[in-house]
Amino acid sequence: MKVWRGWIELWDRREPVTALALVRILVALVLLYDYLVMWKLDLIEPLWSLPPDGYATPNDRWAVRWFGGGPDAAFGLWLATVIALVAMAAGALTRVACVAFVLLSAQFAHLGPDADRGIDQLLRVVVAILALSRSHAMWSVDAWLWRRLGRPMSPIVPAWPRYLLFAQLVWVYFSGGHNKTGTEWGPYDGFTALANTLADPHFARFAPDWVAALHPLTRVATALTITFELTSPLLIVFTYYAATADRPGTLRRWCNRLRLRAIWIALGISFHVGIAITMQLGIFPLGMLALYPIVLLPRELDRFGARIR
């Protein structure tokens, strides 16, 4: 019964909505940027129009059945998605906007499965969880409107959506580490994975001339990356220890004293900033960084906000 009560208390906890509100805004802005880039590069018609106008996969999903598969239908779906993302970022009819984006994004995945990247699938799930949360209780048109109507939304909300997003982030890293099965990721091949990627013109942002000069550093970065991903479940332990720092325990005390959680978060941020600077992987690094508010404790976000103010 003690375990059962603890389980219920865990999922019934309340906390400030700050982290969820930040994730909602940042994820919406990253996705909006991505869809605007598609428009700028004239990729809407090729990706999501049926032949002969484009290269979309014929299917009988509702988007094609209702609107057809021509260029106008593809642009209409794109425009509806952009409107949903703008509403999501502004927090206007937030839950409706989140559900609309998930449905539209799923249709794009059916029309162009080869263009549905891992980060698209990840953020689609993130937005679905946000639709079930109260992320619109702060920094939103919804919150402003309810406040004007005399029924302000409480900034203290259920914490379980953040827990789910936290677990998803950990799983992405952990499974990513396990999927790196090539010998170049380990000592057998000298941790050469990043050097190989930075020399590949398909992924590298710059000419590979500089890679040889910094080859030792790329080997260290490769070792840190695979270690970071394979040890990502420890972030749950480190965060729990940080949240319960007032409790006794030698391991808890040493983890907090050595700032292992801060080191892990710094490695993750460095990892994605490095990818954004040196590689061409689309919105992957920005999309992952948009989730990082969920790894911070509510009191840490409050302190950070106070410093900014």
The domain spans of the chain are 16-156, 159-309
| Residue of 96, 102, 51, 30 whose CA lies nearest to 289 | 30
| pLDDT computed for residue 60 by the predictor | 66
Which tokens sit at 290? Answer: 């948009």
**Spatial contact of 186 and 154, defined as CB atoms under 8 Å apart:** no
Q: Which amino acid is at 169?
A: L
Q: Catalogue the E-assigned strands of 99-227.
A: 156-158
| pLDDT computed for residue 6 by the predictor | 84
**Spatial contact of 93 and 87, defined as CB atoms under 8 Å apart:** yes
**80 exposed, middle or buried (CB, 10 Å; 0-12, 13-18, 19+)?**
middle
| pLDDT computed for residue 55 by the predictor | 77
Which tokens sit at 94? Answer: 């937030």
The ranges of the chain with pLDDT < 50 are none
**Spatial contact of 159 and 14, defined as CB atoms under 8 Å apart:** yes
Instruction: Report d(CA 81, CA 60) in Å as an integer.
Output: 20
**Spatial contact of 229 and 174, defined as CB atoms under 8 Å apart:** yes
| pLDDT computed for residue 84 by the predictor | 97
> For residues 102, 104, 110 and 115, what is the CA-based torsion angle, rounded to 10 degrees?
-90
- Report pLDDT digits (tens) over 58-99: 776 767 777 777 788 889 999 999 999 999 999 999 999 999
**Spatial contact of 242 and 297, defined as CB atoms under 8 Å apart:** yes
